[in-house]
Amino acid sequence: MLSSKLHILQRSGGRGLAALGRSAFSTEAKQFPASKQRFIPASGTYPQGFFAGGSHCGVKKNGQPDLAVLLSDRPTTASAVFTTNQFCAAPVQYDRSVLNQAREAREQRVRAVVVNSGCANAVTGKQGLVDAQAMGAAGSQLVQKFDAQRGAQSPPGEALVMSTGVIGQTLPIDKIRSGVEAIELDSTHEAWMRAAIAHMTTDTFPKLLSREVDIGGHAVRLAGITKGAGMIHPNMATLLGTVCTDAPIAQAQLDAALSFAVARSFNAISIDGDMSTNDTIAVVANGAAGSWTIGEGSPEFLAFQTALTDFMAELASLVVRDGEGATKFLTIEVTGANSFTDAKQVASTIATSSLVKTAFYGQDANWGRILCAVGYAGVPLDTKRVNLAIHPGDGSAPLVLVRSGEPQLPVDEARASEILKQEDMRVRVELGLGSEEARMYTCDLSHDYVSINADYRS
């Protein structure tokens, strides 16, 4: 029998590759809260050439899954955005270095992403960076063994690393190295679910999304995993997440598409106004969809950029739906602005207002708080042109609160009560100044948020 210490990989049902070792844990949706199960996919369409896996390696003391690996069978073009928190974690520093070196060399170096949950490896000094490098090296060794098993002659590959969990504690790096060596990899939906579950900390459900899109007559697949429920606030990136795609795209085009998409997705969500030390969103593209290329400024590029933006916006919305203690999912839509920046500034100001968020939790139609946030957003207004309405998630008639700057009194309190009882709502603010618009996605602020974060380390 082959030694599991060598992490020899075997064919698994003809669909993927699995290690000899086993990491048994359930991926069934029924183990998660009933109210969240509708967001957990029962199947998926995953990009060609990618393999996934998740396991428990010992970072978490409660025995829950805490290690995930995503691996491409060929070199990838990789791009990422990171937190702007000045106490950026060691994994962020390491990943920046890997990506910058790949860009300077104009090489496709990234082959894998290794993620641990339960320990953030943040504010850990020199040892933190040593551990991040060791984690990356473990991922690179896994790639080498993967290639050796298949008889592939690919150049040495590197791994990006991500960590999430408690700040100020060093990684149990030996456990992570052993876990990476023994992890099972496959291309099945269950394997992707294992990876998604292993990302979770205070999350109440795994966040996994996949789809196939048409790009210039070519089928392109995307799959994304993200995690986050607290410390979510936009500024370059807002949590951990990886999107894998088989699109054939060059570095400059991928960088541009990611920058555009992040501004309208992961940089357009807010839960509590706190920005993590570890925030990272990465996209890795292995080109397995074909020999064609997405060219600069081409119709294919615009189609890919739109598809990536829509995909990432949907993926990001799962984070808001799992906001710590959240009971409402709110879309803040601002239209009629002079610029996208102005529209987003107004939307962000509303989305981060504690008074607005608590009003929605209390199902209180205190629309004055919304208008107040619009007024102090720092964007020039003609208040006589402003319209405000709340649209219910069930598609029924909205509640118009302000028209051309004038309050629509008396407020229909009965209708307001009907709308505010719903889980999904859209706040629409029309500025009446231009043609630009933006959206932010947020949630309410509840008593449970305080309880969860007061007891986080215990």
List the catalytic residues: 238
Three-class DSSP category at 159: strand
Structure tokens given for 239: 């949590």
Do 172 and 58 meet the contact criterion of CB atoms below 8 Å apart?
yes
Cα–Cα distance measured from residue 420 to residue 362, given in angstroms and rounded to the nearest whole number: 9
How many Å apart are CA 392 and CA 40, to the nearest integer? 23
Q: 71 with 185: CB under 8 angstroms?
A: yes
For 16, phi and psi rounded to 5 degrees?
A: -170, -160
Q: Which token pair is 137?
A: 């090296």
Angle at 144 between CA 141 and CA 148, to 5 degrees: 140
State both tokens at 313: 């916006």
Give the side-chain half-sphere CA count within 13 A for 6. 8
- Among candidate residues 321, 245, 339, the one with its CA nearest the CA of residue 283: 245
> H-helix or E-strand containing 371?
helix 367-375
CA distance linking residue 238 with residue 85, whole number of Å: 10
d(C-alpha 420, C-alpha 364), whole Å:
7
> Strands, DSSP E only, in 268-423?
269-270, 280-285, 329-337, 387-392, 399-403, 406-407
6, 9, 67: which is closest to 185 by C-alpha? 9
The 10 Å Cβ neighbour count of residue 86 is: 6
241 sits in the region (left: phi over 0; alpha: psi -120 to 50; else beta) called beta
Angle between helices 299-321 and 251-263 (to 10 degrees): 40
Which residues lie across from 335 on neighbouring strands?
A: 430
Which distant-in-sequence residues (6+ apart) come within 8 Å of 14 by Cβ?
none
Backbone angles phi, psi at 272, to 5 degrees: -135, 0
R_g of the chain, CA atoms, integer Å: 23
DSSP structure class, residue 40? S
Distances (CA, A) of 214 to 134, 151, 283: 39, 33, 18
